[in-house]
Amino acid sequence: MNVLIWNEHRHEQQNEEVAKIYPDGIHGAIKEFLETDDIHVETATLDEPNHGITEERLAKTDVMLWWGGHLAHHEVADEVVEQVHQRVMEGMGLIVLHSGHFSKIFKKLMGTGCDLKWREADETERMWVVNPSHPIVEGIGEFIEIEKEEMYGEHFDIPAPDELVLLSWFEGGEVFRSGCTYRRGHGKVFYFRPGHEAYPTYYHKDVQRVIQNAVRWAKPTDRTFSSYGNAKALENIKPKS
Amino acid sequence: MNVLIWNEHRHEQQNEEVAKIYPDGIHGAIKEFLETDDIHVETATLDEPNHGITEERLAKTDVMLWWGGHLAHHEVADEVVEQVHQRVMEGMGLIVLHSGHFSKIFKKLMGTGCDLKWREADETERMWVVNPSHPIVEGIGEFIEIEKEEMYGEHFDIPAPDELVLLSWFEGGEVFRSGCTYRRGHGKVFYFRPGHEAYPTYYHKDVQRVIQNAVRWAKPTDRTFSSYGNAKALENIKPKS
Amino acid sequence: MNVLIWNEHRHEQQNEEVAKIYPDGIHGAIKEFLETDDIHVETATLDEPNHGITEERLAKTDVMLWWGGHLAHHEVADEVVEQVHQRVMEGMGLIVLHSGHFSKIFKKLMGTGCDLKWREADETERMWVVNPSHPIVEGIGEFIEIEKEEMYGEHFDIPAPDELVLLSWFEGGEVFRSGCTYRRGHGKVFYFRPGHEAYPTYYHKDVQRVIQNAVRWAKPTDRTFSSYGNAKALENIKPKS
Amino acid sequence: MNVLIWNEHRHEQQNEEVAKIYPDGIHGAIKEFLETDDIHVETATLDEPNHGITEERLAKTDVMLWWGGHLAHHEVADEVVEQVHQRVMEGMGLIVLHSGHFSKIFKKLMGTGCDLKWREADETERMWVVNPSHPIVEGIGEFIEIEKEEMYGEHFDIPAPDELVLLSWFEGGEVFRSGCTYRRGHGKVFYFRPGHEAYPTYYHKDVQRVIQNAVRWAKPTDRTFSSYGNAKALENIKPKS
């Protein structure tokens, strides 16, 4: 199974505090806990040619992770977004992390504005499991508690998720749909809220477990691609007057 | 209540057979059965300036109907599509008819390819009601039978509908999700399959009733628009170490 | 439109504090804000013969409201539950309020245990709108704040709602799916969380508005009931070898 | 992984034609293609003591399959139904096959009547995949064609499925939601339509593949069971006046 982690990777280079938390970048931290004997992980970042995303690389990717949609996101080429979208239609899984809610690829897949409320105030987040049989929360207790996180609050301008898995409580008074699955084309999409760059969220064991589970859940289903267009009748059609 | 019917209106001008069926255009035929004391209906077509869709006109529209997405759809300006999308986000209802499945606005709202199988073979369609309590099928029996229609067949490349209301059986052997509701932003969207230009489908009483019902279902909900962006805390946040 | 409010009506008779808040019973308080020119409201309580629910009365009821599922709920006759269930299958709307989550009728309609976490601690509840175009939240702002309520917390053991409309934040750290729609048979069901007997929740203008909206949303759709059982073929079936 | 196949097993004993098709019973035929190195399969039938379903046996079952709900279903003890329901709430997967749509356990899980139209007329069924990325259709083409089957037609009186995977076309003019997933409590449920006793449906490779996939999809998610009831606050609650 081939996984590609895409990270904007600007915060880590521009902000010393972030660099201390994620010395190898957020993508490096995620790679660390994702790689196993049967999962091969590569990474790509904004400043690489073509943002590190070639058609060849996409073609062999089973599941892609996407971090970033705020700081430098206007620099992401529309052409690359089209390529990623096409691969999701073909079956590639996509895990959209945190600020990726505002990425071009997530907006294109959702068809809505994807806006929300936010606040940086070192506040406690508690993500409650509301879909107890979902494989994405295997090994997770009743909730995941994160001592300090950025707040994302409702209304979150997304389509109703196909499956709502996690709901966040925030100390400052808001709630948020934090773990949402979608099927788009032949691909599976999971949005997972936590992961602000200023906090060590990706070292949290439960956050890691959810992402590990999500990658396995999102892997392509082995089927021939659908055929579209003009189709011959499978049964006789009676002549009409 | 203000309704705006948009129709590509090229088939009717280019094809004598179509012109005979719809001498006032498909938009004219739909206007005929939609207009009532409390519903004011206007129409717009591709060849009008700005395709007949100005921001001013959109601003006062409660529900828009959209016919067309094949023949001349590449001529629809992206800017107009953006304006319509923005109005759906703000709460305008949108009823997408037949070939509108391939329109830019529907694809943008769905986030998928929206492709399907099709065939023109004078075949019988029978749309079965699978959501018996939905207001969109008020007054409709167990199924709607149309003697001759174009076939649209699965796989239909759309997100799973929020509500599946009607399922089509086709004589040639296919099935199709023919009545699908979606909520996008503050707006409601209904896709309704039948309505090939070469058949008198819009004179069918049950087809008319579904569209009448859908327009009432899709009307904007009277609420203040959500606020997004940076948000003050509603509760005290404890200082963290 | 005929509405029937069912209330256990024991708390009000056994507890002076509750009686002070709801001198005419919870059903009386709800009747007060539901009755309009086009909505006729009746009430029924546990201690009436047949709990005030006769088949004749049910037959003419369009929407029923149900309060209570804890204190004396074991006294509710199974036969009456069957009758109410049958009427929902036929198209009657059902609004289940607060402790009604544990009522026999709600459990029967859901097919799950319907259990939850709870706490009586005078805590603040803030219900956020997550489905901004839903008619049930017409006239409601971004959230409804209730200064003091009983807490109900996840995991709430229900099927995933057809539509999730409201999400609660609780001061003590929990979240809850507080406004949930379901379609069952030909009927519509809405579960609405707030309404603990020890608080004046049903005098809250926004709570009243949600219930008013829900009653209109839940009204039966005017259609002939489906036919089931052995069915004649609508098309020719070829003889097989 | 432990699988338990329950079969009414009366048709096979009462009807010679059925006995010829399924000499080891329908349960025997299903066991044959389900058993693998990592899946241990046992069977149970109506006429065994406790219908072959003891609490001990249920406790170790990961996924149960259920065939039958018509012929002798009134003989199934309510107590056994309660036990199976309880195990689904705890996480056991349940695959409901064909006439199981009318079984007590399926009705109890659905909360609706689960009725439908039916016809025995040797007619062709074509099940179309409408959820192309679902693991239950891995290895399946665009449709599954069965030359001769019993017809089940809409309206099928079930709650809207959490995921609709397969849609049937029938030669006689009907459609049917044939592959439906549900989550109930901590368990997963899959309803799969085909499998009339008078036809060799369970020898069809694609039908076998769907059931094999469904068993793996339905396996319990490894998590601690939720706690319900009175809950201590996780955060400070301010005293109210």
In a domain, A210, yes or no: yes
Nearest to C96 by CA among C227, C190, C26: C190
Contacts of C170 in chain A (CB under 8 A): 169
β-strand partners of B63: B3, B93
Please check the confidence at residue B72 and state whether its pLDDT lies above 90. no
DSSP-based three-state secondary structure for C229: strand
Contacts of D235 in chain C (CB under 8 A): 171-173
Question: In whole angstroms, what is the distance from residue D98 CA to residue D152 CA?
Answer: 9
Partner C contacted by D225 (CB < 8 A): no
Do residues A67 and A7 make contact, with C-beta atoms less than 8 angstroms apart? yes
Average pLDDT of span C90-103? 98
Least CB-CB distance to D155: which of B129, B155, B160? B129
Least CB-CB distance to C186: which of B132, B183, B223? B132
Question: Before C204, cis peptide (omega within 30)?
Answer: no
Question: In whole angstroms, what is the distance from residue A193 CA to residue A207 CA?
Answer: 10
Sign of CA dihedral B228, B232, B238, B240: positive
ipTM of model: 0.97
Question: In whole angstroms, what is the distance from residue D157 CA to residue D222 CA?
Answer: 32
In a domain, A48, yes or no: yes
| Closest CA in chain A for residue C125 | A173
Alpha-carbon gap: B13 to the closest alpha carbon of chain D (Å) = 36
> Are B117 and A234 in contact (CB < 8 Å)?
no
In a domain, C145, yes or no: yes
Q: Which two tokens stand for residue C198?
A: 């020890």
What H or E segment, with its residue span, contains residue B67? strand B63-67
Partner C contacted by D110 (CB < 8 A): yes
pLDDT for position C127 = 98
Q: What is the CA radius of gyration of chain C?
A: 19
Contacts of A155 in chain C (CB under 8 A): 128-130, 132, 142
> Are D174 and B173 in contact (CB < 8 Å)?
no
Q: Which two tokens stand for residue B33?
A: 């059965």
Those residues with Cβ within 8 angstroms of residue C16's Cβ, 6 or more apart along the chain or in another chain: none
pLDDT for position A241 = 86
pLDDT for position D31 = 98
Q: Which two tokens stand for residue B69?
A: 């997405």
Best A94, A140, A223, A228 member to test D by mutation, with max D CBs in 10 Å, is A223
pLDDT, tens only, B124-167 = 999 999 999 999 999 999 999 999 999 999 999 999 999 999 99
Average pLDDT of span D48-57? 94
| D72: confidence class by pLDDT, cuts 50, 70, 90 | confident
In a domain, A49, yes or no: yes
Do residues C155 and A129 make contact, with C-beta atoms less than 8 angstroms apart? yes
Burial class (CB in 10 A: 0-12, 13-18, 19+), A138: middle
pLDDT for position A72 = 87
Partner A contacted by C168 (CB < 8 A): yes
**Phi, psi (degrees; rounded to nearest 5) at D37:** -60, -35
β-strand partners of C45: C7
pLDDT, tens only, C3-61 = 999 999 999 999 999 999 999 999 999 999 999 999 999 999 999 999 999 999 999 99
- For B3, other C-beta atoms within 10 Å of its C-beta total 23
Burial class (CB in 10 A: 0-12, 13-18, 19+), C232: exposed
Longest dimension (CA), chain D: 78
pLDDT, tens only, B79-104 = 999 999 999 999 999 999 999 999 99
pLDDT, tens only, A113-149 = 999 999 999 999 999 999 999 999 999 999 999 999 9
| Closest CA in chain A for residue B148 | A240
Question: In whole angstroms, what is the distance from residue D220 CA to residue D212 CA?
Answer: 15
In a domain, A35, yes or no: yes
Question: In whole angstroms, what is the distance from residue D205 CA to residue D198 CA?
Answer: 17
Chains touching B (at least 3 CB pairs under 8 A) are A, C, D
Partner A contacted by D228 (CB < 8 A): no
Partner C contacted by B171 (CB < 8 A): yes
Q: Which two tokens stand for residue A172?
A: 């400052």
Partner D contacted by B175 (CB < 8 A): yes
Partner D contacted by C122 (CB < 8 A): yes
> Are D171 and A131 in contact (CB < 8 Å)?
no
| Closest CA in chain B for residue A156 | B228
Do residues D180 and D226 make contact, with C-beta atoms less than 8 angstroms apart? no
- For B31, other C-beta atoms within 10 Å of its C-beta total 18
Q: What is the CA radius of gyration of chain B?
A: 19
Average pLDDT of span C188-209? 98
Least CB-CB distance to B240: which of A147, A183, A226? A147
Partner A contacted by C125 (CB < 8 A): no
pLDDT, tens only, D139-164 = 999 999 999 999 999 999 999 999 99
> Are A163 and C160 in contact (CB < 8 Å)?
yes
Axis-axis angle for helices B25-34, B205-217 (nearest 10): 70
DSSP-based three-state secondary structure for B6: strand
Question: In whole angstroms, what is the distance from residue D146 CA to residue D170 CA?
Answer: 10
In a domain, A25, yes or no: yes
- For B39, other C-beta atoms within 10 Å of its C-beta total 16
B vs D, Cβ pairs < 8 A, gives: 58
Q: Which two tokens stand for residue D75?
A: 């003989």
Q: How far is CA A12 from its chain centroid? A: 19
In a domain, D148, yes or no: no
Do residues C116 and C191 make contact, with C-beta atoms less than 8 angstroms apart? no
How many domains are contained in chain B? 1
In a domain, A7, yes or no: yes
Please check the confidence at residue D70 and state whether its pLDDT lies above 90. no
Partner C contacted by B10 (CB < 8 A): no
Those residues with Cβ within 8 angstroms of residue C155's Cβ, 6 or more apart along the chain or in another chain: A128, A129, A130, A132, A142, C116, C117, D226, D228
DSSP-based three-state secondary structure for C91: coil
Question: In whole angstroms, what is the distance from residue C129 CA to residue A177 CA?
Answer: 12
Those residues with Cβ within 8 angstroms of residue D120's Cβ, 6 or more apart along the chain or in another chain: D150, D151, D196, D198
> Are D167 and B155 in contact (CB < 8 Å)?
no
Contacts of B123 in chain A (CB under 8 A): 233, 237
What H or E segment, with its residue span, contains residue A179? strand A175-184
Chains touching D (at least 3 CB pairs under 8 A) are A, B, C
Question: In whole angstroms, what is the distance from residue C42 CA to residue B95 CA?
Answer: 38
Whole-number percent of chain C with pLDDT over 90: 96
Alpha-carbon gap: A189 to the closest alpha carbon of chain B (Å) = 11
Contacts of B171 in chain A (CB under 8 A): 233, 235, 237-238
pLDDT for position B71 = 84
pLDDT, tens only, B11-61 = 999 999 999 999 999 999 999 999 999 999 999 999 999 999 999 999 999
Distances (CA, A) of D70 to B112, D100, D101, D117: 42, 8, 9, 14
Best C169, C170, C234 member to test A by mutation, with max A CBs in 10 Å, is C169
The residue range of the domain holding D67 is: 2-112+179-217
Question: In whole angstroms, what is the distance from residue C26 CA to residue C195 CA?
Answer: 9
What H or E segment, with its residue span, contains residue D97? strand D93-97
What H or E segment, with its residue span, contains residue C25? helix C25-34
pLDDT for position A70 = 87
Please check the confidence at residue C241 and state whether its pLDDT lies above 90. no
Those residues with Cβ within 8 angstroms of residue D50's Cβ, 6 or more apart along the chain or in another chain: D77, D80
- For B28, other C-beta atoms within 10 Å of its C-beta total 16
pLDDT, tens only, D177-231 = 999 999 999 999 999 999 999 999 999 999 999 999 999 999 999 998 889 999 9
| C222: confidence class by pLDDT, cuts 50, 70, 90 | very high
Nearest to B107 by CA among B157, B67, B71, B61: B157
Question: In whole angstroms, what is the distance from residue D206 CA to residue D215 CA?
Answer: 14
Q: By 3-state DSSP, what share of chain B in percent is helix, strand and coil, each rounded to 5?
A: 30, 30, 40
Nearest to A135 by CA among B150, B97, D93: D93
DSSP-based three-state secondary structure for B189: strand
Distances (CA, A) of C186 to B231, C38, C159, D9, D155: 42, 23, 18, 34, 11
Whose tokens are 């109890």? That residue is D108
Q: Which two tokens stand for residue C138?
A: 């017409």
Question: In whole angstroms, what is the distance from residue A123 CA to residue C63 CA?
Answer: 43
Partner B contacted by A111 (CB < 8 A): yes
Question: DSSP label at D26?
Answer: H
Whole-number percent of chain B with pLDDT over 90: 96
DSSP-based three-state secondary structure for B32: helix
Least CB-CB distance to D177: which of B130, B170, B173? B130
Question: In whole angstroms, what is the distance from residue A231 CA to residue B172 CA?
Answer: 10
> Are A175 and C128 in contact (CB < 8 Å)?
yes
> Are D230 and C121 in contact (CB < 8 Å)?
no
Alpha-carbon gap: A108 to the closest alpha carbon of chain D (Å) = 19
- For B94, other C-beta atoms within 10 Å of its C-beta total 26
Question: In whole angstroms, what is the distance from residue A178 CA to residue A176 CA?
Answer: 6
Please check the confidence at residue C225 and state whether its pLDDT lies above 90. no
Contacts of B155 in chain A (CB under 8 A): 226, 228
Question: In whole angstroms, what is the distance from residue B80 CA to residue B88 CA?
Answer: 13
Least CB-CB distance to B137: which of C131, C171, C221? C221
Partner D contacted by C117 (CB < 8 A): yes
Amino acid at residue number C80: V
pLDDT for position A231 = 97
**Phi, psi (degrees; rounded to nearest 5) at D186:** -95, 10
> Are B108 and A109 in contact (CB < 8 Å)?
no
Amino acid at residue number B235: E
Best A115, A137, A169 member to test C by mutation, with max C CBs in 10 Å, is A169
The CATH number for D44's domain is: 3.40.50.880
Those residues with Cβ within 8 angstroms of residue B227's Cβ, 6 or more apart along the chain or in another chain: A117, C142
Partner D contacted by A131 (CB < 8 A): yes
pLDDT for position C71 = 84
Structure pTM?
0.98
Segments of chain A with pLDDT less than 50:
none
Partner B contacted by C130 (CB < 8 A): no
